[in-house]
Amino acid sequence: MLVAAVPSPSGAASLLVNAVVAGDWKPLVSVPLVLEYEAVLTRPEHLAVSGFTREEAVGLVKAFCRMGEPIHIPHLLRPRLRDPDDEFVLETAFHGKADLIVTFNIRDFRLSAESLGIEAITPREAVERMGRR
């Protein structure tokens, strides 16, 4: 969600990040997940789209971490997903006892997440649910 919010400041993912900043949502964060966010957001193509410097991108990840709930990953669940880099999201959600995973990658997450008792929804669905609260 954090990665998707950067290039689209008016999109659903950005609205969710704003909800995190406002304290309405608390993301779960783990060391592997944070390292993945940092690695992706500091890639040259992401820096070009965002207009961030490397230091600004790292600062964004650190700010997101401060707003999140730290989750320890005592054991891995792998392999469950097609993309090994997505495993960090699933493991953080599982060990953090999350109700849902918000992702644009529904196709890859839905079955694996549901098998662990976690619902996978799109950012748009999450924003719609926020509007109903």
Mean pLDDT, the chain, integer: 91
Q: What is the pLDDT of residue 86?
A: 92
The number of residues making up the chain comes to 133
Inter-residue contact 64 to 21 (CB < 8 Å): no
Distance from chain centroid for Cα 57: 15
What would the mean pLDDT of 36-57 be, rounded to a whole number?
93
Q: What is the pLDDT of residues 75-126, one digit of tens each?
A: 999 999 999 989 999 999 999 999 999 999 999 999 999 999 999 999 999 9
Q: What is the pLDDT of residue 92?
A: 97
Q: Which residues pair with 102 in a beta bridge?
A: 121
Answer yes or no: is pLDDT of 7 > 80.
Answer: no
Burial of 97 (0-12, 13-18, 19+ CB in 10 A): exposed
Q: Distance between CA atoms of 72 and 29, rounded to whole angstroms? A: 9
Start-to-end Cα distance in the chain: 20
Q: What is the pLDDT of residue 133?
A: 60
Number of domains in the chain: 1
Q: What's the predicted TM-score (pTM) here?
A: 0.88
**Which helix (H) or strand (E) element contains residue 82?**
none
Q: What percent of the chain has pLDDT over 70?
A: 98
Q: Which CATH number goes with the domain that contains 111? A: 3.40.50
Q: Which domain holds residue 40?
A: 2-132
